[in-house]
Amino acid sequence: MAAAGKPVQDDPKAPCRLYLITPPVFETKAFSEVLKAALGAGDVACVQLRLKDVTDDHIMRTADALMPLAQRAGAAFILNDRPDLAQALGADGVHVGQDDMPYAEARRLVGPDAIVGVTCHDSRHLAMEAGEAGADYVAFGAFFPTATKDAKSRAPLELVSWWSEMMTVPQVAIGGITTANCTPLVSAGADFLAVSAGVWQHAEGPAAAVAAFNRIFDDIARQ
């Protein structure tokens, strides 16, 4: 996904890329250093700020701190849930779930140039609907058990290979993804892996995780 632009993953041979999701709770100053180190360790396509049950002011202040770090590293800065705040911040895009708002409403709020991604759980139908409406990517999950979210669905690996063969809209795989379990998703054609705990809680630290994900992507792209 290009920073400040649309996803550029329409080359079917393009390697999979990493999409970072911020931890559920963090202290901004300390996390800024962790994020900087992670972004310096290898390619990252996107950073999604995902904060729940906090004030708009907290989201705005946190985004002000993190967005320049992401963008300086060439990663698109995506805000979760809130197209209105994404627009106000000048973020590169927004991610909306099925219970947040319809794609068309999110698009209306952020304008034609921003990235809009849509959660599609394990549903081909939701994904085709989002893709036809103009979503820049569709997200499938959860592929593995996760403690980060009470995920509503479990998505099968075949969904990734089917979407990759049939559709051109980029797909993001999410949910419990780690360096240890990601290889089948990458081989099946996922365009992006969205990862939270698998990076921030990696045994060797977030920078090592980013480097390891990128080694896996490169190895599979070379096959």
Ligand X SMILES: Cc1nc(C(=O)O)sc1CCOP(=O)(O)O
Ligand Y SMILES: Cc1ncc(COP(=O)(O)OP(=O)(O)O)c(N)n1
Nearer to ligand Y, 172 or 222 (CB): 172
Does residue 100 bind ligand Y (CB under 6 A)?
yes
Nearer to ligand X, 127 or 151 (CB): 151
Are 170 and 158 contacting, i.e. CB atoms less than 8 angstroms apart?
A: no
Q: Decide which of ligand Y, ligand X, Mg ion, none touches 170; Cβ closer than 5 to 8 Å per partner kind.
A: none
> What does the DSSP assignment read for the chain?
--TTS-----STTPPPEEEEE--SS--HHHHHHHHHHHHTTS---EEEE---S--HHHHHHHHHHHHHHHHHTTPEEEEES-HHHHHHHT-SEEEE-TTT--HHHHHHHH-TTSEEEEE-TT-HHHHHHHHHHT-SEEEEE-SS--SSS--S----HHHHHHHHHH--S-EEEESS--TTT-HHHHHHT-SEEEESHHHHT-TT-HHHHHHHHHHHHHHHHH-
Considering the complex, what minimum distance in angstroms separates the CB of residue 223 from ligand Y? 26
Does residue 106 bind ligand Y (CB under 6 A)?
no
User: Is 100 a known ligand-binding residue?
Assistant: yes
Does residue 89 bind ligand Y (CB under 6 A)?
no
Does residue 100 bind Mg ion (CB under 5 A)?
yes
Nearer to Mg ion, 78 or 209 (CB): 78
User: Is 119 a known ligand-binding residue?
Assistant: yes
Considering only residues 102-141, where is the footprint of ligand X by CB under 6 A?
119, 141
Separation between Cα atoms, residue 109 and residue 102, nearest integer Å: 11
Site string for Mg ion, 33-72 (x = CB under 5 A): ----------------------------------------
Q: Decide which of ligand X, Mg ion, ligand Y, none touches 172; Cβ closer than 5 to 8 Å per partner kind.
A: ligand Y
User: Is 147 a known ligand-binding residue?
Assistant: yes
Among 51, 66, 76, 151, binds ligand X (CB under 6 A): 151
> What does the DSSP assignment read for 125-150?
HHHHHHHHHT-SEEEEE-SS--SSS-
Q: Decide which of ligand X, ligand Y, Mg ion, none touches 198; Cβ closer than 5 to 8 Å per partner kind.
A: ligand X
Q: Decide which of ligand X, ligand Y, Mg ion, none touches 22; Cβ closer than 5 to 8 Å per partner kind.
A: none
Nearer to Mg ion, 108 or 152 (CB): 152
Q: Annotated binding site for Mg(2+), which residues?
A: 81, 100
